[in-house]
């Protein structure tokens, strides 16, 4: 891969980390992976051009690789809130195609292998679709590279490697998991990983010919070290993940409720209110009585109760006031009965009763004027 792609990858990694942090702080809900899980994955690896530093016995240049392979296995633990951690072992193998930057045409071959151990922290998201769950994460660890490659021109040949070297490694991860509906706990995964091993990585080099580090040299054999200063990889993997303690499936929908038997018709009540110390009907009171009379003709009514009440206040005090209010409640009931008869209700169907200050609609203390207690209740049975 060329220098522009390598530069773009360096710029893309911080953007990937920023996006991951933004998503973590956003409103996405966690798809909980709970407890122990294992994972396997494999796919293609694209290694960017690797820079070979100048050495005493050979010129520097860039190694260009063809598409390679990668595989990994992991064991992890989910905390049930979207976060999980895992330990991963990985392997990559890339075939050398060209050695760029020399003054002579070259043929090239061989391969580079890398294998490492990583610790990853990941976050799973619930985007409201039960068939796909995105996730992202970061990893850090240690990785080793083994180089066994060669390149040659008409009069020059070099062999690089046959040895291994290691260094700190890191990676960024973005993936999608797809639950397998017929196997609880099993998911397929699609992943992209940016993986890098810090340079330099030092390998043994052998050269024969007259190409030197700073121009032609005396033809001969030289041996020494050559350093790989960059190691960037783009990996695309298909995998499987199995959870040993998956979240339980959602409960089955409850059966529809059995329709209840119709309840018996309840008595209908109409309230007629009165001014203080009055038993005559207001205009609004007459409207309510008319509504009750009309309702009695549209439903099966066997009996109509007309019950009168007063509040606890009176123009008289003490026991005399209570007796006065008892009579006032009866007069109010009689006024309502008379209005019902005028509205067409048979008088024989109406029973009246006065209760005075008892059974208030709103509880009050003595000698209290309360409009809602100055009432007549019309009850249709």
Q: Read off φ and ψ for residue 248, nearest 5 degrees.
A: -65, 150
- Which pLDDT score is estimated for 102? 63
Given a cut of 90, whether residue 37 has pLDDT beyond it is: yes
pLDDT in tens, 188-199: 999 999 999 998
Beta bridge partners of 99: 63
List of residues 6+ apart from 149 with CB closer than 8 A = 63, 96, 108, 109, 110, 111, 112, 159, 160, 161
Inter-axis angle of helices 283-298 and 318-342, to 10 degrees? 60
Given a cut of 70, whether residue 157 has pLDDT beyond it is: no
The pLDDT-based confidence of 200 (bands split at 50, 70, 90) is confident
User: What Rg value do the Cα atoms of the chain yield, rounded?
Assistant: 46
- Which pLDDT score is estimated for 174? 97
- Which pLDDT score is estimated for 26? 40
Given a cut of 70, whether residue 154 has pLDDT beyond it is: no
Given a cut of 70, whether residue 145 has pLDDT beyond it is: yes
Given a cut of 50, whether residue 353 has pLDDT beyond it is: yes
- Which pLDDT score is estimated for 19? 47
> Who has greater pLDDT, 273 or 24?
273
Alpha carbons within 13 angstroms on the beta-carbon side of residue 212 total 9
- Which pLDDT score is estimated for 178? 94
What share of the chain has pLDDT > 90, as a percent?
34
Give me the residue spans of the domains in the chain: 3-243, 268-380
- Which pLDDT score is estimated for 380? 82
Given a cut of 90, whether residue 30 has pLDDT beyond it is: no
DSSP code for 193? E
Q: Which of 293, 279, 275 is nearest to 333 (CA)?
A: 279
Q: Is domain 268-380 given the CATH code 3.30.1330.60 in the classification?
A: yes
Among the ranges given (55-59, 75-79, 298-302, 332-336), the one the predictor scored with the smallest mean pLDDT: 55-59
Alpha carbons within 13 angstroms on the beta-carbon side of residue 210 total 6
To which H or E segment does residue 296 belong?
helix 283-298
Q: Left if phi > 0, otherwise alpha if psi is -120 to 50, otherwise beta: which for 354?
A: beta
Laid out side by side, the sheet with 350-354 consists of: 268-273, 375-380, 304-308, 350-354
Highest mean pLDDT among 11-25, 27-41, 164-178, 199-213: 164-178
Q: Tokens 């100055």 label which residue?
A: 374
- Cα 281 from Cα 276, distance rounded (Å): 12
Given a cut of 50, whether residue 319 has pLDDT beyond it is: yes
pLDDT in tens, 175-187: 999 999 889 899 9
- Which pLDDT score is estimated for 28? 41
CATH class held by domain 3-243 = mainly beta
């Amino acid at each position: 891969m060329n220098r522009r792609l390598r530069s773009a990858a360096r710029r893309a990694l911080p953007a990937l980390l920023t996006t991951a942090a933004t998503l973590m702080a956003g409103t996405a809900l966690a798809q909980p992976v709970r407890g122990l899980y294992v994972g396997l994955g494999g796919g293609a690896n694209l290694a960017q051009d690797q820079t070979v530093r100048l050495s005493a016995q050979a010129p520097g240049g860039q190694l260009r690789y063809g598409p390679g392979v990668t595989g990994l296995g992991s064991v992890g633990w989910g905390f049930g809130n979207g976060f999980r951690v895992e330990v991963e072992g990985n392997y990559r193998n890339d075939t050398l195609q060209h050695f760029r930057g020399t003054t002579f045409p070259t043929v090239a071959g061989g391969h580079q292998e890398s294998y490492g151990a990583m610790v990853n922290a990941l976050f799973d998201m619930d985007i409201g679709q039960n068939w796909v769950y995105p996730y992202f994460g970061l990893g850090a660890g240690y990785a080793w590279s083994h180089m066994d490659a060669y390149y040659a021109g008409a009069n020059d040949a070099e062999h690089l490697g046959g040895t291994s070297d290691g260094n700190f490694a890191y990676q960024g991860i973005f993936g999608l998991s797809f639950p397998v509906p017929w196997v609880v706990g099993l998911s397929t995964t699609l992943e992209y990983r940016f993986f890098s091993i810090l340079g330099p990585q030092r390998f043994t080099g052998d050269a024969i010919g007259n190409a030197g580090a700073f121009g032609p040299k005396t033809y001969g054999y030289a041996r020494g070290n050559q350093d790989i200063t960059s190691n960037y990889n783009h990996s695309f993997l298909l995998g499987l993940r199995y959870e040993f303690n998956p979240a339980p499936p959602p409960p089955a929908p409850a059966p529809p409720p059995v329709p209840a038997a119709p309840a018996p018709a309840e008595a209908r009540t109409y309230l007629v209110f009165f001014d203080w110390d009055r038993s005559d009907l207001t205009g609004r009171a007459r409207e309510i009585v008319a509504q009750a009379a009309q309702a009695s003709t549209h439903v099966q009514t066997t009996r109509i109760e007309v019950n009168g009440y007063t509040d606890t206040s009176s123009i008289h005090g003490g026991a005399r006031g209570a007796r006065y209010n008892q009579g006032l409640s009866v007069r109010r009931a009689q006024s309502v009965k008379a209005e019902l008869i005028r509205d067409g209700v048979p008088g024989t169907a109406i029973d009246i009763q006065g209760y005075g200050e008892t059974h208030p609609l709103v509880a009050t203390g003595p000698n209290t004027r309360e409009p809602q207690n100055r009432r007549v209740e019309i009850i249709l049975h």
